[in-house]
Amino acid sequence: MKVLVTGTTGQLASSLIELAAPLRDIELIAVGRPEFDLTQPVPMREAIVAARPDVVISAAAYTAVDRAEDEPALAHAVNVVGAACIAEAAAKLGVPIIHLSTDYVFSGDGRGPHREDDETRPGTFYGATKLEGERAVASITPRHIILRTSWVYSPFGNNFVKTMLRLAESRDTLTVVSDQYGNPTSALDLATAILEIARQPQRDRFGLYHLAGTGETNWSGFARHILAVSRANGGPSATVQDIASADYPTRARRPADSRLCTEKFEKTFGRRLPAWQTSAETVVRRLLRAGQWPKIPEGQPQV
Ligand SMILES: NC(=O)C1=CN([C@@H]2O[C@H](COP(=O)(O)OP(=O)(O)OC[C@H]3O[C@@H](n4cnc5c(N)ncnc54)[C@H](O)[C@@H]3O)[C@@H](O)[C@H]2O)C=CC1
């Protein structure tokens, strides 16, 4: 079967490309910049229709949470108009779309874990555009599986794991916020689950789901685990000191508790993602083996 993914360099798209490469039953086609830009979604929509995939995975997004506050039009163009155009292509072909969304649709002021039908109230422009994107996709085609995920990391792109390793190379102590709770999710785990869904997109499974790594932590707990694994494997290490979000002001205010309840996904698809600690260990060890982690991303590393 042909599976098309939007984005060619993102964490999830890269994970899908890597995992699908050895598979005989899946031909993965990745479309993205520079040829296809979601701010010019019509050519992308036409390219998708012309490729005639059996399933579309809408993974590309404007994910710069802080910058979105200052570039609302661009974030909206990509996350709402772009997402809608991808859904239109899937609808035109009559094939299912698997669309990615975020825990940041929740304000995080209440207590998690959040269920799919809990009240959404994004506190960031990024979260607001992702929520509007979800709604656009759902209104364009009933053949949708919308997956809200959280705190994504992987061997690819920029993410919190790489940032912690990089910072630990040059600092003895890292200060990390300890009052924001969530579920770290390996893009490789997410991609594995998505490929499985793509193989069997039954009608009675269409809908909105939460899908994230099993277990929960806060950012400083996540950092401690990353650095403990790194230390045990001869990589960089540092002491992690807890700080409050109030002491680490960011342009966009992050949810305090954006934990996702994944029960609905587990009941429907009969599986859950591995424990976040195990998957984080796999990614840290892989990064250490590769011996490199790209430069620290601009601004806050959290999405
Ligand atoms: N990274 C995270 O922590 C989280 C991500 N998500 C969602 O999961 C999905 C996958 O995220 P990641 O792979 O981590 O994101 P990423 O930031 O690693 O990759 C985003 C991809 O979108 C592409 N993109 C951005 N603007 C584009 C445009 N104008 N035209 C074409 N492509 C464009 C980028 O080139 C990149 O390939 C996204 O929908 C994101 O909103 C949800 C929760 C957390």
pLDDT tens digits for 106-129? 998 988 899 999 999 999 999 999
Residue 282 lies in a domain: no
DSSP 3-state assignment of 73?
helix
Average pLDDT, the chain: 94
Give the amino acid at 120.
T
Q: What is the pTM of this model?
A: 0.95
Residue 17 lies in a domain: yes
Percentage with pLDDT > 90 across the chain: 89
| Domain residue limits at 38 | 2-158+184-215+254-274
* Number of independent structural domains in the chain: 1
Residue 166 lies in a domain: no
As a whole number of Å, the CA-based R_g of the chain is 18
Residue 147 CA to residue 194 CA, distance in Å, equals 9
Q: What is the CATH number of the domain that holds 94?
A: 3.40.50.720
The tokens describing 38, both together, are: 């979601």
Q: How far is the CA of 60 from the centre of ligand 1 (A)?
A: 4
Residue 150 CA to residue 114 CA, distance in Å, equals 12
66 neighbors 297 (Cβ within 8 angstroms): no
CA-to-CA separations, 143 to 70, 93, 129, 299, in angstroms, rounded: 34, 11, 21, 37
Q: Give the pLDDT mean for 3-27.
A: 97
CB of 10 closer than 6 angstroms to any ligand 1 atom: yes
Residue 33 lies in a domain: yes
pLDDT at 201: 67
pLDDT at 291: 80
Q: How far is the CA of 113 from the centre of ligand 1 (A)?
A: 23
Residue 168 lies in a domain: no
Residue 75 lies in a domain: yes
Percentage with pLDDT > 70 across the chain: 96
Q: What is the ipTM of this complex?
A: 0.98
For 123-162, write each residue's pLDDT tens digit: 999 999 999 999 999 999 999 999 999 999 999 999 999 9
Residue 234 lies in a domain: no
Nearest protein Cα to ligand 1, atom 22: 60
**Confidence bin at 202 (pLDDT 50/70/90):** confident
Residue 67 lies in a domain: yes
pLDDT at 203: 76
